[in-house]
């Protein structure tokens, strides 16, 4: 895939500011670990607050992390005066996720003036072993102010 050229040269500070306004991710202690045109990766520590009844990562929290990573990946390529909203997404859970932390990657597959299609991958990190636990296919929409 060719590298993406962001239309907004200040995309990084715009995306960081938007991310930092999210109470939900701050509550999970989420940290941005990669932020480039079309790409957004974040890490969160694993904790009991984000598990389902078996002690594994709740599928909805997997979706929250994947949607966040995909939404901000799309937002890197949107114009300065725009907002991003999720149109839809689909998640497949591949393995129950547990361990020390969760690494989530969002990647633009097809940018567009209105709609942007993204893929996400969520990994658990346990004893330095990385396991692919969930994948997302998502559509984001650009809203002009």
Residues that bind a second copy (CB under 8 A): 18-19, 21-24, 27, 48-54, 58-61, 63-68, 71, 83, 85-96, 109-110, 114-115, 117, 119, 132, 135, 137, 139, 141
Quickly list DSSP for 40-88.
Answer: EEEEEE--GGGB-TTSSBPHHHHHHHHHHHHHHHHHTTS-TTEEEEEEE
Nearer to a second copy, 5 or 52 (CB): 52
Give the nearest distance from C-beta 4 to a second copy in angstroms.
Answer: 14
Give the nearest distance from C-beta 143 to a second copy in angstroms.
Answer: 9
Quickly list DSSP for 18-43.
Answer: HHHT-HHHHHTT-EEEEEETTEEEEE
Give the nearest distance from C-beta 88 to a second copy in angstroms.
Answer: 4
User: For residues 126 and 133, what is the distance between their CA atoms, to the nearest angstrom?
Assistant: 12
User: For residues 71 and 100, what is the distance between their CA atoms, to the nearest angstrom?
Assistant: 25
Nearer to a second copy, 89 or 101 (CB): 89
Tell me which residue of 66, 32, 30 sits closest to 49, measured CA to CA. 30
Give the nearest distance from C-beta 131 to a second copy in angstroms.
Answer: 10
Nearer to a second copy, 39 or 72 (CB): 72
């Amino acid at each position: 895939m060719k590298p993406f050229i962001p239309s907004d040269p200040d995309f990084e500070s715009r995306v960081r500011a938007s991310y930092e306004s999210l109470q939900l991710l701050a509550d999970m202690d989420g940290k941005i670990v990669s932020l480039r045109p079309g790409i957004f990766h974040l890490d969160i520590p694993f904790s009991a607050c984000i598990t389902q009844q078996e002690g594994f990562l709740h599928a909805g929290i997997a979706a929250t992390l994947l949607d966040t990573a995909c939404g901000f990946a799309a937002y890197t390529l949107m114009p300065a005066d725009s907002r991003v909203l999720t149109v839809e997404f689909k998640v497949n859970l591949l393995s129950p996720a547990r361990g020390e932390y969760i690494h989530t990657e969002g990647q633009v597959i097809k940018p567009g003036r209105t709609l942007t299609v993204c893929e996400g991958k969520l990994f658990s990190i346990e004893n330095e072993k990385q396991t692919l636990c969930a994948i997302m296919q998502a559509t984001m929409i650009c809203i002009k102010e």
